[in-house]
Structure 1
Amino acid sequence: MIDHDGPGDARLGRDTRELLDPHHHRASIHVGDRLIVDPDQVLANVAMAMERLDLDTSTPVSIEEDVASLEELVALVDHFAQGPSLVAHTLNTAARVVNARYPAELVHRPLPHDCDLRRLFHADVDEHSQNIARAVFNQRLAQAADVRDTEVAVDLHGLTSQQQIEVFMAVFFLYGTKVGALQNRTGIR
């Protein structure tokens, strides 16, 4: 139990309880100048946001506010070296969600090369990161089995931490684009 001596201690107590609560979405807390991150909760937040987006594509989703803060993503990629795990999890979640609701022939159809997130959403992602994201996204939707983080690591090899985060964000937005197209084509809402 944390002793609550002042307002800062009370907040730390609440934040800590939220981080430890398996039903709460909190994925990190600050303790002094240190950030403590629960990588599993970050991944759970990614999946939850993706499922919510599929249920209502008109719901605005902000990665920073609804999924994971930039600080949490940097910790995951830089300090835990889980960039490939983050991208693989996002790819596998995307495949799980769309395969459960939409016709296979539409799910397996690749996003075209001219699907440019910078043009569609003014996304801040470099061309190389976007091309990698589109390639791994299309590959994953074309296969039945989950992609392993070791496979994604090959695609992310040589990328900076920032570029790995951009690939994750691009995969997330490509998923939203794909879901919107699938819903438009099938009428499923």
Structure 2
Amino acid sequence: MTIEHDGPQHTHLDRDTQELLDPHHHRASVHLGDRLIVDPDQVLANVAMAMERLDLDTSTPVSIEEDVATLEELIALVDHFDQGPTLIAHTLNTAARVMNARYPAELVHRPLPLDCDLRRLFQVDIDERSLSIARAVFNHRLAQHADVRSTEVAVDLGGTTSQQRIEVFMAVFFLYGTKVGALQNRTGIR
């Protein structure tokens, strides 16, 4: 692929840039010199793809950093694009969509118990407030039939730092994985 500049001169794009520009590739960012270029829509698409893959095979290890979004991409999305609420709402709505399509509604809508602590289950470093917010918004979304809007999530995130917003996203993602695993164990659906 080439980009034409003023006149017949062509510049060949490097592989990473070509992948970022390819709508069928999962690359969500590229470094251009000391700048990071991020495609927020691709980050959201990668989140959904990883969640769908996790539902199809809960035994497959999923790493946020390697399979979903790098920390740099998450920081860009939350800090620079101010899309923390959008990221979390998208993750919640994707979780509900995937679970409602495969599992009995009465099990999907059952809230996670208060003692569902990701820090004990996965030894993740998430502060108490972030975990509480994640559990609350996750349970709230599962109780609803309609998608949650990012403006609703923004209210729940009021007063949180960028790091806490990223932690809430990660906690929602891991709560989803925990819930899907429990649903599969309960129903026998694999």
Band of TM-score, shorter chain:
over 0.9
1:113-154 deviation digits (Å, cap 9, x = unpaired): 000000000011101100000000000001000000000000
Q: Does 1:118 align with 2:109?
A: no
Aligned to 1:179: 180
Q: CA deviation at 1:2?
A: 5.6
What secondary structure sits across from 2:14 in the alignment?
A: helix
Point out where structure 1 has 5 or more consecutive residues left out of the alignment: 4-8
1:32-74 deviation digits (Å, cap 9, x = unpaired): 1000000000000000000000000000000000000000000
TM-score by length of 1: 0.95
Q: How many residues align?
A: 183
Aligned to 1:164: 165
Aligned to 1:58: 59
Q: CA deviation at 1:77?
A: 0.2
Aligned to 1:83: 84
CA distance in 2, matches of 1:166, 1:24: 26
- Which amino acid in 2 is paired with 1:114? D
CA distance in 2, matches of 1:127, 1:91: 19
1:141-180 deviation digits (Å, cap 9, x = unpaired): 0100000000000001110000000000000000000000
CA distance in 2, matches of 1:149, 1:25: 24
Question: Where do residues 90-109 of structure 1 align in structure 2 (5 Å cutoff)?
Answer: 90-109=91-110
CA distance in 2, matches of 1:132, 1:123: 16
What secondary structure sits across from 1:183 in the alignment?
A: helix
- The alignment yields a C-alpha RMSD, in angstroms, of 1.2
Q: Does 1:147 align with 2:158?
A: no
Aligned to 1:32: 33
CA distance in 1, matches of 2:116, 2:153: 21
Would the aligned equivalents of 1:26 and 1:41 in 2 still touch at CA under 8 Å? yes
- Which amino acid in 2 is paired with 1:13? D
- Which amino acid in 2 is paired with 1:33? D
Percent identity of equivalent pairs: 85
CA distance in 1, matches of 2:100, 2:184: 13
Would the aligned equivalents of 1:2 and 1:13 in 2 still touch at CA under 8 Å? no
Q: CA deviation at 1:13?
A: 1.4
CA distance in 1, matches of 2:3, 2:60: 38
- Which amino acid in 1 is paired with 2:19? E
What secondary structure sits across from 1:124 in the alignment?
A: coil
Would the aligned equivalents of 1:129 and 1:166 in 2 still touch at CA under 8 Å? yes
CA distance in 2, matches of 1:2, 1:98: 43
1:57-113 deviation digits (Å, cap 9, x = unpaired): 000000000000000000000000000000000000000000000000000000000
